[in-house]
């Protein structure tokens, strides 16, 4: 079996067997032990494929957290209105975009209770901080989440739109089967919504440019930790081995350490035609500049 196939097999085993088994057997025990604990979420968000997994797991590996939730919309209880099955359950990009939007009838009390139940089911550390990573969902639901947790913080990762939109179409079938324009529209919509809603809580929002994260990895993580008030972990979390195989989620993990991939953007742009690259940049260039301006203010 090739290294790539073996890695995919290990990921399927973790996702389909080990993680559900852990949730079924250990989740109730953790929930009872943590029954009255409160948490202060750090909502790590951005467009899918923007580097949210890299940032969330890097923070969770180096600093003290009660729990690290890799995909909160998938791990919250299935009877919660916050649960979401994922992109490829939908036949079009527009249908997916509509499905992740918050609803007027959503209850802040119920949303908070559902998220606390999830944090308590996963918490093994003593820190009151919880990493809640939710690409797309946490971005468009930010206003609702901010009301659920008035002391929560948002860390937004954004990436060169050309590389991000190319990734949408390469990694997720729903985007691959739809038009490039729909991917561009989706990128604009989710970021514009966050910009609008976060205007009510700018002091609770930190912006991280993916390209800076890659080039100044250690320095940027330390700066984020200081601003969030995090303490260094007594012992770094070990992560499952992951080969440097392009795809969804984290990659390039060796001996429990994350290796940063410096040329991912260039490879993504090379996969686009000149016309596609021009269309993406014309449509999203000014939005990208506004987000870069916010990151530089920090």
- CA separation (Å) from 47 to 16, 25, 69, 254, 286? 25, 32, 17, 26, 17
Would you kindly state where each structural domain of the chain is located, as residue ranges? Answer: 3-297
CATH class for the domain made up of 3-297: alpha beta
Does residue 204 contact residue 146 with C-beta atoms inside 8 Å?
yes
Q: In this model, does residue 19 exceed pLDDT 50?
A: yes
pTM for the full model?
Answer: 0.86
pLDDT tens by residue, 271-294? 999 999 999 999 999 999 999 999
CA atoms within 13 A on the CB side of 197: 19
pLDDT tens by residue, 30-87? 778 878 899 999 999 999 999 999 999 999 999 999 999 989 999 999 999 999 999 9
The confidence score (pLDDT) of residue 33 equals: 84
| Residue 40 in tokens | 């202060």
CA atoms within 13 A on the CB side of 46: 27
Q: If you search the block for the tokens 């909160």, which residue do you land on?
A: 72
Q: If you search the block for the tokens 């029954």, which residue do you land on?
A: 35
């Amino acid at each position: 079996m090739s290294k790539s196939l073996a890695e995919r097999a290990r990921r399927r085993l973790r996702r389909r067997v080990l993680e559900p088994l852990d949730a079924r057997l250990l989740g109730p025990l953790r929930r009872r032990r943590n029954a009255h604990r409160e948490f202060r979420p750090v909502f790590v968000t951005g467009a899918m494929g923007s580097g949210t997994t890299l940032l969330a797991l890097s923070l969770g590996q180096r600093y003290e957290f009660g729990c690290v939730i890799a995909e909160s919309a998938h791990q919250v209880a299935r009877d919660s209105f916050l649960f979401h099955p994922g992109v490829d359950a939908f036949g079009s990009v527009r249908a997916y975009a509509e499905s992740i939007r918050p609803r007027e009838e959503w209850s802040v009390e119920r949303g908070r209770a559902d998220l606390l139940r999830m944090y308590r089911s996963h918490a093994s550390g003593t820190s009151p901080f919880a990493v809640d990573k939710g690409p797309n969902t946490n971005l468009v639901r930010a206003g609702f989440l901010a009301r659920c947790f008035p002391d929560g913080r948002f860390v937004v990762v954004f990436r060169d739109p050309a590389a991000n939109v190319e990734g949408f179409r390469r990694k997720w079938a729903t985007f691959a089967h739809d038009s490039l324009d729909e991917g561009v529209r989706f990128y604009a919509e989710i970021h514009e919504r966050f910009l609008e809603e976060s205007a009510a809580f700018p002091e609770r929002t930190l912006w991280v440019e993916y390209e800076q994260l890659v080039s100044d990895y250690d320095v940027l993580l330390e700066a984020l930790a200081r601003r969030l008030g995090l303490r260094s972990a007594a012992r770094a979390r070990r992560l499952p081995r992951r080969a440097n195989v392009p795809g969804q989620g984290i990659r390039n993990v060796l001996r429990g350490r994350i290796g940063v991939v410096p040329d991912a953007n260039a490879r993504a742009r090379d996969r686009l035609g000149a016309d596609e690259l021009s269309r993406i940049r014309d449509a999203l260039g000014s939005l990208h500049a506004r987000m870069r301006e916010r990151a530089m203010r920090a």
